Amino acid sequence: MKTAPLKEWTYEEFLTLPEGGPSRYEIIDGELYMTPSPNIRHQRISRKLLLVIGKFLETHPLGEVFDAPCDVVFSQDPLQVAEPDLIFVSKAHAAIITEKNIQGVPDLLVEILSPGTAATDRRVKRTLYERFGVPEYWIVDPDAEIVQVFRLSDGRYGTCLEFHKNDVLDSPFLPGLSIPLSEVLPS
């Protein structure tokens, strides 16, 4: 769900929105997006992915992984703030991690589709992430039991790679990590 466009938001104004309520907030292209809290299936997938990636990073210190709620501020003028489900920032880009949020472009973003967010994740956020040069973007579709992977090439996301429930997912940003999707996606 989104509201009417506003002329300008500052990050300080954004931070005045209620915390911990039933909604999550993002500002994309001047529009305030509010979505309900994720459902349990969404949270289970998010937790499993976070645990798998987090455990891998303990023995392979390639960077850090964060889960929502964690703001990614792509731009202050105009304000562009997204709240992906999972965020990976490599050691090479660690300078974008601040006390308040991520200020810049992470290496990998993950969105897990929910009924209230699917259209935004597939269109609006995909366009935003591509425009700001996010190298890799995963869309996890629990209903279809697939993960779509978009990788930036020449500034654009080409045809997505589709990984199904019985496949193993890997990423060039996490070399050595193989995620059996049967362990992540719901039965």
In a domain, 2, yes or no: no
In a domain, 45, yes or no: yes
Residue 80 confidence (pLDDT): 87
164, two tokens: 């199904």
State the pTM of this model. Answer: 0.85
State how many domains the chain has.
1
Would the pLDDT of 1 be above 80? no
Percent of the chain with pLDDT over 70: 86
Say how far apart CA 173 and CA 51 lie, in whole Å.
Answer: 17
Buried b (16+ CB within 10 A) or exposed e, 75-97: eeeebbbbbbbbbbbbeebeebb
Q: In this predicted model, what pLDDT tens digit does every residue of 15-53 receive, in sequence order?
A: 565 554 545 676 777 777 777 778 889 999 999 999 999
Considering only residues 3 and 98, tell me which one the structure prediction assigns the higher pLDDT: 98
147, two tokens: 């993960």
Would the pLDDT of 186 be above 90? no
Q: In this predicted model, what pLDDT tens digit does every residue of 56-86 receive, in sequence order?
A: 999 999 999 999 989 999 998 778 889 999 9
In a domain, 138, yes or no: yes
Residue 28 confidence (pLDDT): 76
In a domain, 31, yes or no: no
Per-residue pLDDT averaged across 87-104, rounded?
A: 97
Domain of residue 87: give its range. Answer: 39-68+83-183
User: What are the angstrom distances between the C-alpha of 162 and each of 29, 149, 166, 168?
Assistant: 28, 6, 11, 11
CATH code of the domain containing 177? 3.90.1570.10
Q: In this predicted model, what pLDDT tens digit does every residue of 105-147 receive, in sequence order?
A: 999 999 999 887 888 899 999 999 999 999 999 999 999 999 9
